[in-house]
Structures are given as C-alpha cells and as structure tokens.
Amino acid sequence: MKVILKEDVKNIGQKNEVVEVADGHARNYLLPKGLAVKATDSQLSKLKQKKQARKRKKQQELNEAQKKADKLEDKVFEVSVKAGETGKLFGSVTTNDIADVIEDETGVKIDKRKVELDDNIKTLGTKKVTINLHKDVTAMVKIKVVEA
C-alpha cells in the first residue's frame, strides 16, 4: 500500500515522503497512529502543492537575503566607544552592538547570531566582519571602532 508519511518514521521514511509499505503495517500501525495517510490522488496533489509552496518560500528568502547583502556589502559602520589612552576599550564591541549599528544606519534588521565574530572587539581600529544572511549568502562589512 502506498502512503504519505506525516512524520519521520524510523526504517520507513521521512516526513512528506511517499512510500510503499505492507498493507497490514499501514492499516494496523501507520494510519491509526496518524503517522501516515493513504496516497490517494487528492492527497498526492496536496503534497505536490505543499512542495511547490515551500520551494517558492525558500527562493523568496534567498532573494531577500541577496538584497540585504547588496545593501551591506563593503560598507563601513562606525561604532563609538570609550577607550583608554593605549587604545584599549572599556568593555568590548559585541555582535549585538554591530547588529544594532547596522540596523540604525541602513534599516536592515540583522539577528546578532548572524554576525560572525571570532572574539569581541577590544581595541580601536577597523575590523572586517562577516554577516551570514542565508546559508548561501554572506556579506562582508567593516566595523570602525572609534573613541567617543
């Protein structure tokens, strides 16, 4: 019997996958537990529509990330902080600070977890920072740390 899995089922398949299983297994286990539905023409067409919608959504997310990257690429963002005489900061510039500065200057909202920083910036100067906007899209920006 052909069924469409509603959830991942060990040793059978992944969610939204059409699989062939024994009739007894489908009738006695998969269907009563709500793990699968019979693969009728209407169910298969619904599955196809879901896959197309998911594909469109992923493409739209990729396009939005690319637009954000184009806005941010090769820009210099200035962060003002208090520093000592040797150029060492009182505190540090974190990913949260960088995300806030980018949002203030460009209006592009970025999650602080998307900012790739080896360690918090603790000295004055300019540093290159990578921002992961999507799994396929990254943007390089420069963060210029100046004394306030």
pLDDT tens digits, one per residue of 30-42 = 999 999 999 999 9
CA–CA gap between residue 48 and residue 91 (Å, rounded): 53
pLDDT tens digits, one per residue of 122-139 = 889 999 999 999 999 999
Say which DSSP state 14 is in: -
pLDDT tens digits, one per residue of 57-73 = 999 999 999 999 998 88
Helical spans, DSSP H, in the chain:
23-25, 41-72, 95-106
At 107, the pLDDT band (50, 70, 90 cuts) reads confident
Domain boundaries, the chain: 2-55, 71-147
C-alpha 83, offset from chain centre: 35
Q: Which helix (H) or strand (E) holds 51?
A: helix 41-72
* Average confidence (pLDDT) over 103-132: 90
Query: Domain 2-55, what fold?
Result: Ribosomal Protein L9; domain 1 (3.40.5)
CATH class of 71-147: alpha beta
Answer whether 36's CB lies under 8 Å from 5's CB: yes
